[in-house]
Amino acid sequence: MSDKPIYVTQPYLPPLDEFIPYLQQIWDNKILTNGGPMHQQLEDALSDYLGVEHIALFNNGTIALLTALQSLRVTGEVITTPYSFVATAHSLLWNGIKPVFVDIDPDTLNLDPSKIEAAITPQTTAIMPVHCYGHPCDVQAIQKIADNYNLRVIYDAAHAFGVQDAEGSILRHGDLSVLSFHATKVFNTLEGGAIICPDAKTKQRINHLKNFGIVDEVTVVAPGINGKMSEVNAAFGLLQLQHIERAQARRKEINRIYREMLKDVQGIHIVEEAGEAVANYSYFPVLVETDYPLSRDELYLKLKNNNIFARRYFYPLISEFPMYRGMPSAQRGNLPVAFDVAEKVLCLPIYPALNDCDISRIVNFVKGN
Ligand SMILES: *Cc1c(COP(=O)(O)O)cnc(C)c1O
């Protein structure tokens, strides 16, 4: 059986002819970057869609994370999760900040708030949690600790586009939230990202920082970086946004089908939905438990040998990479849940173009057929 490869995700590409008018506008305007009309329109459209007041676009999520930390002048030590994509902790190292890893909650796979306090030292200035797989963190518990110890909270919300809790966007929590619009994410601008901030003044500072610190022709107020999103990327985002509802509806349906078909498979534990008001179904993580006939890696390889590229997100843990593994907080004894989950997790393919046949094929392999 020579089936086409199925990757863990596939970017949603609107019909090409729908992109041409956007390009025509850019050609007509002759503005390619530096906060042009497409950039402005996408900021407005996203703040509407997401239900947030202030959003600053970036050329990628990692530069947005770096800039978020700069904008709040975060220094010293920051408490974060080892169970994420490396960019989370790398953004701290690039700012000369020491990451301090704290274990995750076994149900939500997010930073475990009950373990944060023990990791706070006089050097701690902030917490950087991740809404892993788009499941909201325990934002109330985290804010309470931050308030008690006077810490900043910067959410790596790279997975959380469109996620809401009972009161609205999950992105309104903490001091800042950072999105990624990378090609592999639920909403993409090829490469891109954004910072959600609480007020116009903060956005102003972030806007300066993402443009070299330039205020006007003769004024530079900070050692800023080049974090600007181009007009072509912004235009692609505007077009994506036209299709987002339909794309999300299909993700939701795939999530439902997987849950139904896999619910009684021995040894396959489907990570619970967080009970949020609106999820984004960006990932479909399962844990391959010890009573499954194969090890996680055996199942991963079996799928791979059949052209199905499930991914072991997040294995290895960030804290296992050479630039982190010597740190006291990176030791296995400090992170028992994260180590355990990283050895069991497998993210199954989920994306709008995945059809029912593909899903059945994947499920059949998981069921051992
Ligand atoms: C994708 C991702 C990033 C990085 O975003 P880029 O836009 O690729 O730079 C950061 N954190 C997490 C958790 C991510 O998944």
The mean per-residue pLDDT over the stretch 89-105 comes to 98
Ligand 1: distance of its center to the CA of 125 in Å?
22
Q: Are the C-beta atoms of residues 171 and 139 closer than 8 Å to each other? A: no
107, pLDDT greater than 80:
yes
Region label for 316, one of left (φ > 0), alpha (ψ between -120 and 50) or beta (otherwise): beta
If one counts every other C-beta atom within 10 angstroms of the C-beta of residue 94, the result is 15
**DSSP code per residue over 161-184:** TT-EETTEEGGGSSSEEEEE--TT
d(Cα 109, Cα 287) in Å, to the nearest integer? 11
- 82 ligand 1 Cβ < 6 A: no
Residues 6+ apart with CB under 8 A from 11: 183, 184, 188, 351
97, pLDDT greater than 70:
yes
Residue nearest to atom 5 of ligand 1 (CA): 61
The mean per-residue pLDDT over the stretch 106-111 comes to 96
Ligand 1: distance of its center to the CA of 92 in Å?
13
1, pLDDT greater than 60:
no
The mean per-residue pLDDT over the stretch 5-24 comes to 96
Q: Are the C-beta atoms of residues 170 and 140 closer than 8 Å to each other? A: no
Ligand 1: distance of its center to the CA of 199 in Å?
24
- 180 ligand 1 Cβ < 6 A: yes
- 87 ligand 1 Cβ < 6 A: yes
Give 274's pLDDT tier (boundaries 50, 70, 90): confident
Q: What are the structural domains, with CATH classification, of the chain?
A: 16-102+109-239 (3.40.640.10), 244-367 (3.90.1150.10)
Q: Which atom of ligand 1 is nearest to the CA of 132?
A: 13
Give 364's pLDDT tier (boundaries 50, 70, 90): very high
The mean per-residue pLDDT over the stretch 50-56 comes to 98
The mean per-residue pLDDT over the stretch 143-171 comes to 97
Determine the length of the chain. Answer: 369
Closest CA to 299 of 254, 360, 362, 351: 362
109, 132, 180: residue to mutate for ligand 1 pocket, most atoms within 8 A of CB: 180
Q: Are the C-beta atoms of residues 228 and 35 closer than 8 Å to each other? A: yes
Ligand 1: distance of its center to the CA of 180 in Å?
5
Residue nearest to atom 7 of ligand 1 (CA): 61
The mean per-residue pLDDT over the stretch 19-40 comes to 98
Q: What is the pLDDT of residue 173?
A: 98
pLDDT digits (tens, 9 = 90+) for 201-240: 999 999 999 999 999 999 999 999 999 999 999 999 999 9
Q: What three-state secondary structure class fits 195?
A: strand
Residue nearest to atom 10 of ligand 1 (CA): 87
Give 276's pLDDT tier (boundaries 50, 70, 90): low
Mean pLDDT over all residues of the chain?
97
Q: Which amino acid is at 62?
A: T
The mean per-residue pLDDT over the stretch 131-152 comes to 97
Q: Which atom of ligand 1 is nearest to the CA of 63?
A: 9
Ligand 1: distance of its center to the CA of 183 in Å?
10
Q: What is the pLDDT of residue 273?
A: 83
d(Cα 116, Cα 173) in Å, to the nearest integer? 18
Give 275's pLDDT tier (boundaries 50, 70, 90): confident
345 phi and psi angles, rounded to 5 deg: -80, 145
Give 3's pLDDT tier (boundaries 50, 70, 90): confident
- 85 ligand 1 Cβ < 6 A: yes
Ligand 1: distance of its center to the CA of 181 in Å?
8
Q: Which atom of ligand 1 is nearest to the CA of 64?
A: 9
Q: What is the pLDDT of residue 134?
A: 96
Residues 6+ apart with CB under 8 A from 327: 98, 99, 100, 101, 319
The mean per-residue pLDDT over the stretch 273-295 comes to 92
2, pLDDT greater than 60:
no
Q: What is the pLDDT of residue 152?
A: 98
Q: Which atom of ligand 1 is nearest to the CA of 182?
A: 7
d(Cα 339, Cα 295) in Å, to the nearest integer? 15
pLDDT digits (tens, 9 = 90+) for 311-325: 999 999 999 999 999
Q: What is this structure's pTM?
A: 0.98
Ligand 1: distance of its center to the CA of 135 in Å?
15
Q: Which residue has the tokens 């989950």?
A: 341
